[in-house]
Amino acid sequence: MKKVLITGAAGFLGSHLSDRFIKEGFHVIGMDNYITGDSKNIKHLMDNPNFEFIEHDVTEFIKIEGELDYILHFASPASPIDYLKIPIQTLKVGSLGTHNLLGLAKAKKARILIASTSEVYGDPLMHPQTEDYYGNVNTIGPRGVYDEAKRFQESITMAYHRFHGIETRIVRIFNTYGPRMRLNDGRVIPAFMGQALRGEDLTVFGDGSQTRSFCYVDDQVEGIYNLLFSEYSYPVNIGNPHEITIKDFAEEIIKLTGTNQKIIYKELPTDDPLQRQPDITLAKNLLNWTPKVERAEGMEKTFSYFKQLSAEELNKSEH
Ligand code: NAD
Ligand code: UDP
């Protein structure tokens, strides 16, 4: 049985990836320090003999007994309000954490895939974004802690590939959503759905003309899975190119949830990218992958998840 280490396993994407690798017949070692994750996301795996869990901060030395075939490094805060709250940990997990995992990959002769992000493009001057665009990031702005950590992560990964010859993969993930997102993590989908369920107005930041392109989690996991088993070492965009303004998106969510609330406008956060849409030509050609789930279907499934949360969870405010 092939062994895969998944960091950030108690998070949104890490837990879905753990499910997928278990389903494909792998032995999964999940690792997380729960800083933005939740044990509830992997509760259903805890009794599975093919799943083991190590509570550990990946910025500290990582020790794994025996052989290891693959590593998926997904540990990192991923929501703007999370990485504004824990900026140093964000920088450390992308830099020191990635260094530890690359060292582990080298020692075990394992193939490693790292989770990068569309944020490496910053507030993009090229639209849609292709992998050869170098980006437009404000190094010293509040979002810089995440963007630069991820840019460093890509650089050190390529250095380990070139200098040590280890097998590396880099996925640039564009906004992905689905069940198990943390209701209060501040990202736009849980924020709007939580507001609709609590009977609050939906908070659109800025004038809502900024765009995003939302990918359903099952499509994202499929893309990542295909990339891991491809032979390509350079970054690959995985996301859904169906772009929408945040204002139109808020209106879609008002319709979907049937809420009587309205949209209210709040200040646009510093360096909030004005537009974002992946060019997925490379992923299509290389991985024979395209997203399959339409936003209406994905949002329906995500809303069903949020709806079944308890009133206590719904009203828990972390920020
Ligand atoms: P998440 O916050 O739900 O999950 C991240 C997990 O990493 C959490 O469980 C957290 O506790 C864990 N973690 C953080 N620091 C750690 C540390 N030092 N040691 C051990 N565990 C640690 O976020 P997510 O949406 O699942 O994102 C997962 C990865 O995908 C991140 O690397 C993120 O940057 C990347 N990504 C996600 C998106 C998206 O739209 N969801 C977009 C781009 C990139
Ligand atoms: N946003 C918003 N209202 C909210 C939360 C987010 O208008 O309550 C906006 C945010 O300013 C950004 C977009 O929605 O333009 C997506 O934000 P998110 O935090 O989900 O991810 P980002 O793509 O910015 O990392």
Of residues 209, 219, 116, 197, the one with CA closest to residue 158? 116
Cα distance from N-terminal residue to C-terminal residue, the chain:
43
Active site residue 234: no
Ligand closest to 113 (CA) is 1
| pLDDT for the residue 253 | 97
In whole angstroms, what separates CA 269 from the centre of its chain? 20
Ligand 1 midpoint to CA 77 (Å): 5
Check pocket membership of 210 for ligand 1, CB cut-off 6 A: no
ipTM of this complex prediction, to 2 decimal places: 0.97
For residue 208, give the ligand 2 atom closest to its CA.
7
Q: Are 12 and 178 in contact (CB under 8 A)?
A: yes
| Residues in contact with 192: Cβ distance below 8 Å, sequence separation at least 6, in sequence order | 202, 249, 250, 253
Return the bridge partners of 266, or none: 205
**Atom 18 of ligand 2, residue of closest alpha carbon:** 187
- According to the model, what pLDDT value does residue 46 have? 98
Of 70, 121, 146, 160, the catalytic one is: 146
3-state secondary structure of 27: strand
pLDDT of residue 314: 85
List residues bridging with 205 in a β-sheet.
266
Ligand 2 atom 1, closest CA: 188
Is the CB of residue 232 below 6 angstroms from any atom belonging to ligand 1? no
Res 318: pLDDT: 57
pLDDT at 59: 98
pTM as predicted: 0.98
Nearest ligand for residue 189 CA: 2
Return the CA Rg of the chain: 19
Closest CA to 176 of 225, 122, 239, 84: 239
**Residuewise pLDDT in 10s, the chain (319 residues):** 999 999 999 999 999 999 999 999 999 999 999 999 999 999 999 999 999 999 999 999 999 999 999 999 999 999 999 999 999 999 999 999 999 999 999 999 999 999 999 999 999 999 999 999 999 999 999 999 999 999 999 999 999 999 999 999 999 999 999 999 999 999 999 999 999 999 999 999 999 999 999 999 999 999 999 999 999 999 999 999 999 999 999 999 999 999 999 999 999 999 999 999 999 999 999 999 999 999 999 999 999 999 998 788 888 765 4
